[in-house]
Amino acid sequence: MDSTEVNKGMAAILVAGIAYFLAGWISATLVHETKPEHEVLKIEGAAPAEASAEPAKAEPLPLIAPLLAKADVATGESNVKKLCVSCHTFTEGGKAGVGPNLYGVVGAGRGHMEGFNYSAAIKGKAGNWTYEELNAWLAKPAAFAPGTRMTFAGIKSADQRADVIAYLRTLSKTPVPLP
């Protein structure tokens, strides 16, 4: 094989490459030119923007009771270690941190820890921590008790809340029966 043959071969490859590139570029350009029209149509036909922003608020919170039956205590405990221990202790007689100790909180009255300086939001909310109220509280503390000092956004997943609540339930000598 002499060098002109090599050069011819190289030139052929180069030409093929350029042709391939151009074809790709042209079709890409054409596709780009037609795409926006379709997208504009789709956006016009799509549901109004509020529809996607609202559902979390509009939908009532699903009941936690059916989820508690299949909740996983160990997963709940590991989530509590990730999400709550920066502010809460969970052992019997544990000290308050930023938030109160949470041993025995399931079924207890609001503001259940002696001597903890609860906000008016919690003190003013009558009743006990039932499963469903813990569910609502943990989904969005600020919505359940506006003005609360628990600066925690909430747990979005209902399954995760069920796991956490199932774990909280175990922190008692006489756990409240499951609903």
Residue 171 binding ligand HEC, by CB under 6 A: no
Span near ligand HEC by CB under 6 A; candidates 16-24, 58-66, 70-78, 143-151: 143-151
Question: Which residue number, 65 or 77, has a Cβ lying nearer to ligand HEC?
Answer: 77
Query: Could you tell me the smallest distance in angstroms from the CB atom of residue 73 to ligand HEC?
Result: 13
Rounded to an integer, what distance in angstroms lies between the CA atom of residue 7 and that of residue 9?
5
Residues sharing a CB contact under 8 Å with residue 69, sequence separation 6 or more, in sequence order: 178
Site pattern 46..85 for ligand HEC (x: CB under 6 A)? ----------------------------------x--xx-
Q: Are 175 and 169 in contact (CB under 8 A)?
A: yes
Query: CA–CA distance from 37 to each of 10, 47, 79 (Å)?
Result: 42, 18, 47
Rounded to an integer, what distance in angstroms lies between the CA atom of residue 128 and that of residue 108?
5
Query: Could you tell me the smallest distance in angstroms from the CB atom of residue 149 to ligand HEC?
Result: 4
Query: Could you tell me the smallest distance in angstroms from the CB atom of residue 96 to ligand HEC?
Result: 9
